[in-house]
A and B are shown apart, each in its own frame.
Chain A
């Protein structure tokens, strides 16, 4: 008996018990739909996250205090002079800026607000591709001249003053009044889940405001993505040499962080889809159950087919294919529902789902596999029937 004929027989038999077949496949439908939706959302989220991080820059790196170090920071680990020294000794580095921050209260004309007070250099704006809505970011001359100016986020300007037209206006931090020189355009990004509320202060002014504060890290970028590792390692070495300190500094690249993030999201997706996969298993058992009923009901048919020349393997294949067709139909419906569900959830979560052909193919293969796995017992039971007994069965 050829394959096409087996499929035809399978469909005829499924059609003749339509309601029962539909109920049987629901388990498979739900399982496949859940796996497809979860994988699509997971992969979509991961792709979006990666895209955002890529946008920030895969050529970014950071030199910071080694997280394994237990002594508290003294404040002398990073000095402003280090920035210039590293820049002049590492040609791969395009931008390098110190990074110091404090979470503090800031006053505008309208109200007070808690925000990140970041002390840095103009390179920070360059490597972060900060776009100005109004005015300008501060320059190296501003730093040299210790000019008390700040650039702030669009959202923060809105909250402090009620509008973004705030160039020349005053903000007060720790009793120091600072003039707004620029407003930074808000970037549409899914990583900015909450409004970023930061003001950027020239590093020397920041140090004046917070005499006990210190630079937490150096952040830099290279021209080429391939150079980032070298630039980071050289920077760490220079820092160790300049401060005669071993095991104090460490470096991290954005690429490494992306890798970690990607690993975390894929493991999460895997875990959740494995849980969803359990419903596939339950669905498979349902299919097995109904196939066993079907074999019993069709004992005479099996006997007749054997009398007419069906070999045991013809019967085995017929019932296996019937279980497979049942599961694949469930798989197709489940895929449609899963894709729809992924779109729906993604719409709420505001990131595009990623439905790859490989996911759909996998779901397809998986449901067929479940058909074979759970069809095997009923099919082998059918194929082992004695034709004489089967023909006599009522």
Chain B
């Protein structure tokens, strides 16, 4: 599903090079639940930008859903983002003037779906995250957790190949965080591929595999499936 081979990213390669990623190779299978951890400056944000097709690497290749996407043009990248990637942000990034329903419709607008189909699918997605009864609310009328649910519905609505979540619980209290993580767990059980960036270990423990980054390198992989009783240990 996702394969990165020797992926690297260097900023300002001519004058004062910053090696943000120094050759990453990884393989992520469909339906996998991955957590990315690492201190700031470790390259995890750069990796997320590359995996999210918001940026192009300076070296290596990136296969997403069988397609090599590392050298695509801006417009083609926009199409890939629209069709194959669902973003969940720390600060939700909902448009304040739009209702939850309209926010969820947004990716489908750029996909060129007709109005009726958009509305149906947005309603379904809101239903899935338990926000069906709040569809006509604006973001400022919803709590943080509710906003993140709407944002997750928006990320899922085009049935993406991967869900990229960048510190999705960073702005939430612990109770709401655990509710959101339960939602991610549910989505994982339904077969959604999830890549989660976090600096909190107990959030990362929801995943099946943790990728630890340091200084632009994949430092180590921690396979959590080999220790089935992991959650009991932590809690």
Interface residues in chain A, defined as those with a beta carbon under 8 Å from any beta carbon in chain B: 1-2, 5, 12-13, 16, 300-301, 304-314, 387-388, 391
Bound CA span A313–B73, Å? 13
Q: How far is the CB of A43 from chain B (nearest CB, A)?
A: 43
Q: Is the CB of A391 within 8 A of B89?
A: yes
Q: How far is the CB of B58 from chain A (nearest CB, A)?
A: 15
Q: Is the CB of A387 within 8 A of B54?
A: yes
Q: Which residue of B lies closest to A394 (CB)?
A: B91
Residues 98-114 (chain B) with a chain A CB within 8 angstroms: 98, 106-107, 109-112
Set of chain A residues within 8 Å of B83, measured between Cβ atoms: 309
Known contacts A1-B110, A311-B75, A304 near B97 by CB under 8 Å:
no
Q: Is the CB of B112 within 8 A of A2?
A: yes
Set of chain B residues within 8 Å of A305, measured between Cβ atoms: 106, 110
B5 within 8 A of A: no
Set of chain A residues within 8 Å of B158, measured between Cβ atoms: 309
Set of chain A residues within 8 Å of B111, measured between Cβ atoms: 309
Q: Is the CB of B109 within 8 A of A5?
A: yes
B79 within 8 A of A: yes
Bound CA span A352–B78, Å? 57
Q: Is the CB of A307 within 8 A of B109?
A: no
Q: How far is the CB of A301 from chain B (nearest CB, A)?
A: 6
Set of chain B residues within 8 Å of A16, measured between Cβ atoms: 97
Given contacts A301-B95, A309-B82, 5 further A-B contacts (CB under 8 A): A1-B112, A307-B93, A308-B82, A311-B75, A387-B54
Q: How far is the CB of B33 from chain A (nearest CB, A)?
A: 22
Q: How far is the CB of A140 from chain B (nearest CB, A)?
A: 84
Q: Is the CB of A13 within 8 A of B97?
A: yes
20 intermolecular pairs with C-beta atoms under 8 Å apart: A1-B109, A2-B112, A5-B109, A301-B95, A304-B93, A304-B95, A307-B52, A307-B81, A307-B87, A307-B93, A308-B82, A308-B154, A309-B83, A309-B107, A309-B110, A312-B75, A312-B78, A314-B78, A388-B54, A391-B54
What mask results when residues 191 to 226 of chain B are scored 1 for a CB within 8 Å of chain A, else 0?
Answer: 000000000000000000000000000000000000
Set of chain B residues within 8 Å of A12, measured between Cβ atoms: 97-98
Bound CA span A388–B77, Å? 13
Bound CA span A314–B112, Å? 11
Q: Which residue of B lies closest to A304 (CB)?
A: B93
Bound CA span A13–B87, Å? 24
Q: Is the CB of B78 within 8 A of A309?
A: yes
Bound CA span A52–B49, Å? 76
Q: Which residue of A lies closest to B55 (CB)?
A: A388
Q: How far is the CB of A388 from chain B (nearest CB, A)?
A: 5
Set of chain B residues within 8 Å of A388, measured between Cβ atoms: 49, 54-55
Q: Which residue of A lies closest to B48 (CB)?
A: A388
Q: Is the CB of B74 within 8 A of A308?
A: no
Q: How far is the CB of A69 from chain B (nearest CB, A)?
A: 75
Bound CA span A391–B89, Å? 10
Q: Which residue of A lies closest to B75 (CB)?
A: A311
Known contacts A304-B95, A307-B87, A312 near B54 by CB under 8 Å:
no
Interface residues in chain B, defined as those with a beta carbon under 8 Å from any beta carbon in chain A: 49, 52, 54-55, 74-75, 78-79, 81-83, 87, 89, 93, 95, 97-98, 106-107, 109-112, 154, 158
Set of chain A residues within 8 Å of B87, measured between Cβ atoms: 307-308
Bound CA span A310–B154, Å? 14
Q: How far is the CB of B105 from chain A (nearest CB, A)?
A: 9
Q: Which residue of B lies closest to A309 (CB)?
A: B82
Set of chain B residues within 8 Å of A5, measured between Cβ atoms: 109
Query: When the two chains form the complex, which single residue of A1, A300, A308 contacts B81, counting CB atoms closer than 8 Å?
Result: A308
Q: Which residue of B lies closest to A2 (CB)?
A: B112
Query: When the two chains form the complex, which single residue of A300, A308, A311 contacts B107, counting CB atoms closer than 8 Å?
Result: A308
Q: Which residue of A lies closest to B112 (CB)?
A: A2
Bound CA span A305–B97, Å? 14
Bound CA span A310–B78, Å? 6
Q: How far is the CB of B217 from chain A (nearest CB, A)?
A: 21
Bound CA span A310–B107, Å? 8
Most chain A CB within 10 A, of B54, B82, B154, is at B54
Closest 6 CB pairs of A and B: A309-B82, A309-B110, A311-B78, A308-B107, A304-B93, A311-B75
Q: Is the CB of B93 within 8 A of A391?
A: yes
Q: How far is the CB of A241 from chain B (nearest CB, A)?
A: 82
Set of chain A residues within 8 Å of B107, measured between Cβ atoms: 308-309
Bound CA span A280–B97, Å? 30
Bound CA span A312–B81, Å? 13
Set of chain B residues within 8 Å of A310, measured between Cβ atoms: 78, 110
Set of chain A residues within 8 Å of B97, measured between Cβ atoms: 12-13, 16
Most chain B CB within 10 A, of A5, A16, A314, is at A5
Q: How far is the CB of A133 from chain B (nearest CB, A)?
A: 72
Set of chain A residues within 8 Å of B49, measured between Cβ atoms: 388
Q: How far is the CB of A306 from chain B (nearest CB, A)?
A: 7
Bound CA span A309–B81, Å? 5
Q: How far is the CB of A194 from chain B (nearest CB, A)?
A: 63
Most chain A CB within 10 A, of B52, B97, B109, B112, is at B109
Set of chain A residues within 8 Å of B93, measured between Cβ atoms: 300, 304, 307, 391
Q: Which residue of A lies closest to B45 (CB)?
A: A388
Set of chain B residues within 8 Å of A2, measured between Cβ atoms: 109, 112
Q: Which residue of A lies closest to B83 (CB)?
A: A309
Bound CA span A325–B218, Å? 50
Bound CA span A309–B158, Å? 11
Set of chain B residues within 8 Å of A300, measured between Cβ atoms: 93
Q: How far is the CB of B75 from chain A (nearest CB, A)?
A: 5
Bound CA span A2–B107, Å? 13
Q: How far is the CB of A2 from chain B (nearest CB, A)?
A: 7
Bound CA span A1–B113, Å? 9
Q: Is the CB of A307 within 8 A of B110?
A: no
